[in-house]
Each structure stands twice: as structure tokens, then as C-alpha cells.
Amino acid sequence: MEKMLKFVVGPAVVIALLIALAANSGYAVAINIVSDSTWKSYGSAQPGWETLGFDDSGWRKAYAPYPEYPGMPPTAWIPGTQAVFMWDWPYDGSPTGWNGPETSLFRKTFSLTGYSIDSAQATVNADDNFVFYVNGTAVSSGHLWGGPYTVDILPFLTAGENVFAIDAREYGGWEWALFDALINVTPIPQPIPEPSSLALLALGLAGTRLLTGRRKIVR
């Protein structure tokens, strides 16, 4: 019995320590948010549509990937991107790239809970004109042939829920938005259990293992 107890408690303590260390490792990670079908889209502005608290449950999924600009794939605009062209498609039938609406609004909500935000930038472009919002604040705007536009968005992000929003306006039938954001964050360390807590966890695991072992012996 004594040998078994030593054998079980040892690994249990190691497991508890590994959990504590993993929760407190200060490694940096990158969060990449790109234009794709996980965004929401709509065809006309509604009050507060660009803010975090807006209810977009009645919006559509963005149509993506939409037909590419002739001879200009997304990587021609933003080298190395995983982004795709996204559109708002409220009609029946098949999109051709020329029969979309002239106004498209896009939203993407995401969480940065549990992170400290180290740096963040976004690259955006749209046909013909766009305004880009972060949590309700307009942070960038431009015209198709002047872009793509890269902007520092760190001052506008929060360590919690956030929303990106793009108002894209077209004059003639071809309309899309292209977006790529890179957010560098570091996980916020979690409290390390006190030694007594680790000991209780180890004993609990040991007890569970011993009871399981006894049941196996009885059978």
C-alpha cells in the first residue's frame, strides 16, 4: 500500500505543477482575423450598426469567397493573406461579381478575454470606398485604388469583446471588402495554486486511483 501511494502521489503532484505552470507561461501569440464567411453582412445602415452592442442576429452571413476582381486575387492586394473577397448577397440566383448591391455593411465580433494586447494592425480595402470601424470608432477610410490601407488599431481594442465593422460603397455594380488584421497578445497569467492546494489536489487524485485499484482487485 505504501509503495502504491508513493507511486500515485508523485505523478499527481507533477500534473498539478504542470497545470499551474502552463496557466502562467507568458508566451506571446498572434490572432489573425481576415475577411471570410464568418463575418455578418447587410445592405443598409441601421442605428449603431458599427458598435459592439448592436444586435446583428437578423444579418446574413457574408458571401465569401466572392468572384475575384479580374486578374487581381486577394493576394495581389495584400501579399501573403488568407483573406478572401466578401460581399453582401441578398438576392436569389447566382452572383457574378457584377450584380451585387451598391452598399454593403460587414461586422465581425471577437473576444480578447484573458489576454493583454501587445500590438495590433489591420489592412483593409474595398470597392469603391469604405470606412473601417473598431468598436464604433472610425479608424480608417479610403478609395479602392489608393489602398490597401494599413492602420494601427491597438488604441481602439479592449481586453474583452470587440467588433470590426466595414461600410463599403460601390458606384456601378462591383462591390467587395478585403480585410486582414493581426493582433499580438500575451495570455494573462492565472493565479498559481498555493502549495496546500496542490497537495490536496495530489491527494485527491491519489485517493481516486487507490479506490479504482481496489475495485479492480475485488473483481
pLDDT (tens digit, 9 = 90+) per residue, 13-71?
444 434 444 445 568 999 999 999 999 999 889 999 999 999 999 999 999 998 877 78
Task: Count other C-beta atoms under 10 Å from residue 142's C-beta.
Answer: 18
**DSSP assignment string, 93-117:** S---SSSS-SEEEEEEEEE-TTEEE
* CA 111 from centroid of its chain's CA atoms: 7
Q: Mind listing the pLDDT tens digit for each residue in 11-27?
A: 444 444 344 444 455 68
| pTM (2 d.p.) | 0.76
- The pLDDT value recorded for residue 6 is 41
Residue 153: Cβ-neighbour burial (10 angstroms; 0-12, 13-18, 19+): buried
**Consecutive H or E run containing 41:** strand 40-42
Beta carbons of 161 and 169 less than 8 angstroms apart = no
Could you please report the per-residue DSSP string of 137-186? EEEEEEEGGG--EEEE-GGG--SSEEEEEEEEE-SSS--EEEEEEEEEEE
